[in-house]
Amino acid sequence: MSLLRAFTTRKYHNITIDELEPFLLDKEKYQLYDVRTIQEYNYGHIKEFHNLDYYQFMKNLEMIDILDKEKPVILICQTGSRSAAAAHMLSLKGFKDVYNVKKGYVNYRGKITR
């Protein structure tokens, strides 16, 4: 494997909003984080998700120390971009099983919490 490919190879899983449902049903098995800003999160979020603001933890990576590297992490944001970047960062930091909800919260049609 080339050095360039080693740096660009994705080490996390992309899932769709429809594929998220089984994870929500077994929420104790996963760490569920919405990486939107607190304002976006408070406007409406999926009940099972906790907030971990992408912009804040990218400035202070020690914030991710609250997460268990051995327990699967599922990340969501508005459209999937921030959560993909966060998933990539977590995988670089040694997290074993990281999932990004591609296309994000904007496609969620279930019940939301405000």
**75: burial class by Cβ within 10 Å (0-12, 13-18, 19+)?**
buried
Total number of domains constituting the chain: 1
pLDDT tens digits, 73-113: 999 999 999 999 999 999 999 999 999 999 999 999 999 99
Domain CATH number, residue 46: 3.40.250.10
Provide the pLDDT confidence category of residue 1 given band limits of 50, 70 and 90: very low
User: Is residue 113 one of the residues assigned to a domain?
Assistant: no
Going by the DSSP 8-state scheme, the letter that residue 100 receives in this structure is: E
Measured CA to CA, the distance from residue 45 to residue 36 in angstroms comes to 10
pLDDT tens digits, 5-64: 444 566 899 999 999 999 999 989 999 999 999 999 999 999 999 999 999 999 999 999
Measured CA to CA, the distance from residue 34 to residue 41 in angstroms comes to 7
* C-beta atoms surrounding 52 within 10 Å: 22
- Global pTM value: 0.90
Domain extent at residue 100:
3-107
